[in-house]
Amino acid sequence: MGVLATLFLTTFIAGVVGTGLGGLVGALLQKDSNRTVSLLLSFAGGVMLSVVCFDLVVEAIGTGVSIYTVIGSIAIGVAVIYFLNWLIDRKTNPEVPHVDANHPQTHDDLDELIHADHFQQHRKHKDSKLALFVAGVVMACAIALHNVPEGMTIGASYASNNAVMGRAALTLAVLIGLHNIPEGMAVSVPLISGGMTKWKAVVVTALSGAPTVLGALLGFWLGEIGALGLCLSLGFASGAMLYVVFGEILPQAIIMYRSKLPAFSAITGILVGILIIFG
């Protein structure tokens, strides 16, 4: 199987299957343990951090392009993901009364992570099924946009490794797929509540992960056009993942399960990441 075919299959699993699996979980269960989710998130965040710092950023610097270009591309990656998250929060936060100036600037409960609290508010106010359906569609579109730079991370890693099956790229794909599960739950819950059948909601949710493939192809293409393109692709992907780790995964993990264990889980993830890269 060629590089592009492998890249397509890998990111299809990470984006479509990962998000779709979250949609399926949301359709069947809708709830899980805060403790379990927190430890899984923090472990995944640790592995991602290792891959970014010890692989992607090192590869970007190794292209020979100016260090300021590397730093600038990382900053752009951070800014883009922050902006996309800001758009999502701007649309969804006003729907629930407890998300105010005194609330942590991240999800502090599994219900918030999967937006089940938004569903509860809609039901409390006896909102129409159309309102719930629209909320699900908006979330699906937001997550679809969010998945493009995540896909670029995988594509850039494939381009830098110059191998059909780069371990770092494959690891990132698996972790992004896991990260997409709660996002898929955030889409399917309001869609089903809005009257869509469960199987249709799962399909729509899975399709919201499809832009991951487009992002991966874009990241790979940038990485193939020369040293500057590879540097920009790797830098942008690194910034995107750094924000996902420090702006989303770790704050959510620590607040959802207030103990020392998320920290140890993240450290374990970092060590596993080092083993994957250099082992």
The residue type found at 120 is: Q
CA dist 26 and 28 (Å) reads 6
pLDDT one-digit tens code per residue, 239-269: 988 988 898 788 878 887 888 899 999 999 8
pLDDT one-digit tens code per residue, 117-136: 555 555 555 556 666 666 66
| pLDDT for res 61 | 92
* Total number of domains constituting the chain: 1
The Cβ of residue 275 has, within 10 Å, a number of other Cβ atoms equal to 11
**Mean pLDDT on 184-203:** 75
pLDDT band at 165 (very low <50, low <70, confident <90, very high): very low
Range of the domain at 44: 3-278
3-state secondary structure (DSSP) of residue 98: coil
Side-chain-facing half-sphere of 121: CA atoms under 13 Å:
16
- In the numeric block, the tokens 């579109």 are attached to 141
Q: Residue 104's closest CA among 258, 235, 208, 211?
A: 258
Angle at 12 between CA 7 and CA 14, to 5 degrees: 95
Quick check: pTM over 0.85? no
pLDDT band at 108 (very low <50, low <70, confident <90, very high): very low
Residues 6+ apart with CB under 8 A from 82: 243, 247
Q: Residue 23's closest CA among 211, 205, 209?
A: 205
